[in-house]
Structure 1
Amino acid sequence: MIFTVTCLTTCVKLLLIPAYRSTDFEVHRNWMAITHSLPLKRWYFEDRSEWTLDYPPLFAYFEYVLSFVASLFDKNMLVVENLNYESQQTLLFQRLSVIITDLVYAYGSYLCCKSIQKSWRTDVVLPILLITNCGLIMVDHIHFQYNGILYGVLLISLSYAMQAKYVLAAFWFSVLLNMKHIYMYLAPAYFVFLLRKYCLNGVSIKNNINTARSIKNFATLGAIVIGVFSFTFLPFYDHLGQVLSRMFPFKRGLCHAYWAPNFWAIYNTIDKILHLFLLKLGIVTKKSSSASMTGGLVQEFSHEVLPSVTPIVTLVLTASMMLPALIKLWSLNRHPSDFLRSIVLCALSSFLFGWHVHEKAIIMAIIPLSILSIMDVNDAKTFLLIGIVGHYSLFPLLFPSSLLFIKVMLIILYSTYALHSLSKVYPFAAHNFSLPLLNKGNGGHTQHPEPGGNRTHDPGCSGQARSYLTHLGLSEAYNEFGHKF
């Protein structure tokens, strides 16, 4: 099934080759040019383009490898001075490179399906939910990025964690961190999980612990992490500070140019409303330059009325929101689903309260939720709600009106399949396609989860969630046809 779904999805991706692409297309072309044309010591200093290299070195190596294949298509795309260069050969190569590297994601999906007890839900439902994820199609194959290979590495790591192959899980997660450091938000869940399950062998601290074995296992994990980071960063030892300053550019501001739909978007909106209200009352005499926070630029700004937010504030808030999930993971940690839920909660915490969060980061929660959705009905309901809303929140990335039909059909088809397939997994909650898992409770019927999982009742969901989803269509209609800039 995975092979078939991958082939069919690839056909859709091929059809999207001529579609709109964002400035990220030029970003990655420029990174290939930098890594191909310049010596390694200049990679993180090059600034002729505004799209400077700001990913970890392992991703830079990835771009370096791609550049040799790119030279077979069009060598001019690898000239650093050719800013905003584009040709048909460049377009073809870069689109195909994303499609081909998506095979890593397909392999990761295969391993995750293999890690769960074999059934039709792992043979059919989960492969389709993972491989046809409409968020990845919109972000990678229209907007343009290389998230597929990154999430593929994440799935490989998660699969080994579910198989209790902890050393391999740690290795692949270390590789992932060295490709894109945004995944460091998941590191607390990995640390607690590996410490509890591998270093302490799942034994409570109150009980007798094999100290020698624990130290040995901890040293093994430490050696793996240090080894991967050393391989990646040692070539840049002489200018490590420059690399880190590119990777963590805190002066880009609290929010991205397009605000992610998180806590800070609400915070900024309240600040602007209060400022306008004070202007009307005459308490404030003039507008401040902080209005530029809605100007679509990546920059620092100060709030007018509410306290301005610093990176340390977002770090403390994010860590505080993660803490309950980590404590729960430490105390439970009996079944792979406990670890996956902690991963999801860490991803959501960072999305809601992190510094300079991109809207695309919601996919970090949706993908592991896809796996959880076939394990537990409550996780399925969470997946449906966050999946639909999260994928819808990506729509502004595809702003050309010519893409309206494509993005609407992508989310409708994916959400419809998710609703239909999960209603078959949990038939007691099914009511055709009327948001089956968001209806009222099932009168006390009990689901039958995967072995080792928790048997839970379906408590249903309030009408607020159904109303919330229903109004997404009205919101999009207003955005496309009612709101004129």
Structure 2
Amino acid sequence: MKHPNQEKPQKSIEKRTHLQNPHRHVIKDLVWFSLIATFFKLLLIPAYHSTDFEVHRNWLALTHTLPLSQWYTDETSPWTLDYPPFFAYFERFLALFASLVDPTITDLYNGLNYKAPSVIIFQRLSVIASDTTLIYSVYKLTKNMEQKKRFLIWILVVWSPGLLIVDHVHFQYNGFLLGILLISLGALQNGNDLFGGFVFAVLLCFKHLFAVAGPVYFVYLFRHYCRGGIVKGFGKLVTMGTVVVGVFMAAYGPFAYYGQIQEVLRRMFPFGRGLCHAYWAPNFWVFYILADKALASVLSKLGFHIQPPTASFTGGLVGDSSPFAILPTITPSVTFAIVLLAISPCLVKAWRNPDPKMIVRQVAYAYMCGFLFGWHVHEKASLHFLIPLAVVAVESIEDARHYFILSIVSVYSLFPLLYEAQEYPIKVTLLLLHVALMWFGFSESGPVSNNGGLVNRWIVKMYLVGFVVVEAWGQFLHPLVFGDRLPFLPLMMISCYCALGMMYSWIWQLRCIVRSP
């Protein structure tokens, strides 16, 4: 006969194990989520990849072959190194393994446009491996949340169709970089300002385009971290400044030693590029360009002599000529001023009330401002605010409804990146699956259950239906009507239609910032 207390030691061990690692079940669930995502990423290995694939292969070869003093001056390939030093060090680290897998991968002079299975598999796996940073950041952000909200954020981030399209088909390392951003934001939310500032400085030394949120970080940390009186506050300011300067010294110090800082900055900030990217990102400048063309057409018909623009929106040299016929020329300094002006309400709020609960929304808003009003913006930059906003989306019914629309707009705007026929089913399936998961996930997690659903306004329903119309035109009707003529028209329609959704989202986010405490 068993003694009544015979089972207690086992229960005591289980209880002690749980106390030692109270988030063990969270880790287990996240591992399963990540394994499912990894399975689909592996299936995408043979898919199309853009020129960014060769860009990063060349960076592997460049950092492996040349001394550090020549990294930012080499022009062996047209795909020169234009990311900050920490990313160059990251490529150098990957090159150690790439050279063991296949020496041709890191052959700077004979490996140009090398497309052997070895290089494809290695580079694809390097992106998958680097995504562990994103997975870790999601764990840190959600480990204390209730299960339904935690699962929903994992679906929106770990299974993000935007990241699958951009990183694992088109080919980049956005998941890795966004993981660093989320680690920083998670630290700020938990009150660990010094570590959050340190990680953000590290991120800027990986990719400088994340600096758009720099003003928000500065104001928030100055008001939230550097408080406690003049003496104590000044001491904290010095501490934070020392940490940030130390990070930048680690990144740029070796290049300063070799006298290469000017070359590094010239590569990082190629302002000679045009206002817009080759495929217009769906932002404010789409409407500005169309307004200029419409005005020029109307005035020409009225008898006015209109000088046709002599420069391209996508590749004109700044100051050489104007790509606009009527409206004023836009320069990088103009876009910088507009972005800063657009961010200013967020800076005022961060100054008056540096609330850790608002920092994710404020940083995401700053990146949205950079996307809408910045210079030579890539369509992929929408991920900079879409991924952080996934954390905000579970907070309220309005946030869920907003994210539902914004996510569809962002993912659909990435469709032109995958223009080959064999990838068409992939991107459509990813978007439709994402919509279904959001619909089910938001309904089950609480924010929109019993509150009218995700789409409760007729104008929003009509806008969503419009995506079907735009896609049907571009894929089926345009070739029938125009044949090979006007090939840019379907792309322009996608850009313009998505820009409407982006502007709506920006106005909505601005209202949330202004109305916040």
How far is the alpha carbon of 1:73 from its aligned partner? 1.8
- Count of matched residue positions in the alignment of Structure 1 and Structure 2: 446
How far is the alpha carbon of 1:286 from its aligned partner? 6.5
Structure 2 partner of 1:104: 133
1:343 is the counterpart of 2:343: no
Over 3 Å counting, the alpha-carbon distance change for 1:330 and 1:423 in structure 2 is farther
154, 159, 184: which one aligns with 1:127: 154
Contact 1:186 1:347 in 2 (8 A): yes
User: Alignment RMSD, CA only?
Assistant: 1.8
Contact 1:107 1:152 in 2 (8 A): yes
* Distance in 1 (alpha carbons) for counterparts of 2:335 and 2:389: 24
How far is the alpha carbon of 1:386 from its aligned partner? 1.1
Q: Secondary structure at the match of 1:436?
A: coil
> Aligned AA for 1:104?
T
Structure 1 partner of 2:266: 245
Structure 2 partner of 1:445: none
* Distance in 2 (alpha carbons) for counterparts of 1:18 and 1:185: 35
1:220 is the counterpart of 2:215: no
> Aligned AA for 1:343?
V
How far is the alpha carbon of 1:18 from its aligned partner? 0.5
Contact 1:186 1:346 in 2 (8 A): yes
How far is the alpha carbon of 1:323 from its aligned partner? 0.4
Structure 2 partner of 1:172: 199
How far is the alpha carbon of 1:252 from its aligned partner? 0.7
Contact 2:47 2:169 in 1 (8 A): yes
Over 3 Å counting, the alpha-carbon distance change for 1:153 and 1:313 in structure 2 is same
How far is the alpha carbon of 1:283 from its aligned partner? 2.5
Contact 1:279 1:286 in 2 (8 A): no
1:401 is the counterpart of 2:421: yes
How far is the alpha carbon of 1:302 from its aligned partner? 2.2
Contact 2:395 2:447 in 1 (8 A): no
Contact 2:272 2:315 in 1 (8 A): no
Q: Secondary structure at the match of 2:100?
A: coil
292, 315, 332: which one aligns with 1:271: 292
How far is the alpha carbon of 1:130 from its aligned partner? 1.4
478, 481, 485: which one aligns with 2:473: 478
How far is the alpha carbon of 1:180 from its aligned partner? 0.2
1:118 is the counterpart of 2:135: no
1:93 is the counterpart of 2:122: yes
Contact 2:65 2:106 in 1 (8 A): yes
* Distance in 1 (alpha carbons) for counterparts of 2:289 and 2:440: 38
67, 81, 93: which one aligns with 1:65: 93
How far is the alpha carbon of 1:401 from its aligned partner? 2.0
How far is the alpha carbon of 1:289 from its aligned partner? 2.9
How far is the alpha carbon of 1:107 from its aligned partner? 0.7
265, 271, 278: which one aligns with 1:257: 278
Following superposition of structure 1 onto structure 2, how do residues 34-433 of structure 1 map, counting pairs within 5 Å? 34-81=62-109, 82-114=111-143, 117-200=144-227, 209-237=228-256, 238-284=259-305, 287-290=308-311, 292-293=312-313, 302-334=323-355, 336-426=356-446, 429-430=449-450
How far is the alpha carbon of 1:405 from its aligned partner? 1.2
> Aligned AA for 2:63?
T
Which structure has the larger Rg? Answer: 2
Contact 1:31 1:52 in 2 (8 A): yes
How far is the alpha carbon of 1:225 from its aligned partner? 0.3
Contact 1:332 1:338 in 2 (8 A): no
* Distance in 2 (alpha carbons) for counterparts of 1:72 and 1:425: 47
Segments of 5+ residues of structure 1 without an aligned counterpart are: 201-208, 440-461
How far is the alpha carbon of 1:299 from its aligned partner? 5.7
Query: Percent identity, aligned pairs only?
Result: 41
Over 3 Å counting, the alpha-carbon distance change for 1:167 and 1:303 in structure 2 is same
* Distance in 2 (alpha carbons) for counterparts of 1:367 and 1:401: 28
Contact 2:37 2:158 in 1 (8 A): yes
Q: Deviations over 1:70-122 (max 9, x none)?
A: 112211121222322221111111111111111111111111112xx431134
1:21 is the counterpart of 2:49: yes
Q: Deviations over 1:226-245 (max 9, x none)?
A: 00000000000011011001
* Distance in 2 (alpha carbons) for counterparts of 1:60 and 1:412: 36
Q: Deviations over 1:393-420 (max 9, x none)?
A: 1111111122111101111111221122
Segments of 5+ residues of structure 2 without an aligned counterpart are: 1-28, 480-486, 488-517
> Aligned AA for 1:273?
A
How far is the alpha carbon of 1:382 from its aligned partner? 1.9
Structure 2 partner of 1:32: 60
Structure 2 partner of 1:448: none
> Aligned AA for 2:336?
L
Q: Deviations over 1:404-453 (max 9, x none)?
A: 1110111111122112211223365558xxx92231xxxxxxxxxxxxxx
How far is the alpha carbon of 1:273 from its aligned partner? 2.6
* Distance in 2 (alpha carbons) for counterparts of 1:121 and 1:196: 34
Q: Which has the higher contact order (CA 8 A, sep 6+)?
A: 2
* Distance in 2 (alpha carbons) for counterparts of 1:52 and 1:176: 21
* Distance in 1 (alpha carbons) for counterparts of 2:317 and 2:433: 37
How far is the alpha carbon of 1:212 from its aligned partner? 1.5
> Aligned AA for 1:315?
F
Over 3 Å counting, the alpha-carbon distance change for 1:329 and 1:381 in structure 2 is farther
How far is the alpha carbon of 1:463 from its aligned partner? 2.7
How far is the alpha carbon of 1:303 from its aligned partner? 1.1
How far is the alpha carbon of 1:464 from its aligned partner? 2.2
Contact 1:177 1:183 in 2 (8 A): yes
Over 3 Å counting, the alpha-carbon distance change for 1:286 and 1:183 in structure 2 is closer
- Bigger CA drift: 377-386 or 13-22? 377-386
How far is the alpha carbon of 1:329 from its aligned partner? 2.5
How far is the alpha carbon of 1:247 from its aligned partner? 0.4
> Aligned AA for 1:218?
L
* Distance in 1 (alpha carbons) for counterparts of 2:181 and 2:197: 11
- Bigger CA drift: 222-231 or 340-349? 340-349
Structure 2 partner of 1:456: none
* Distance in 2 (alpha carbons) for counterparts of 1:97 and 1:428: 38
Over 3 Å counting, the alpha-carbon distance change for 1:105 and 1:16 in structure 2 is same
1:438 is the counterpart of 2:433: no
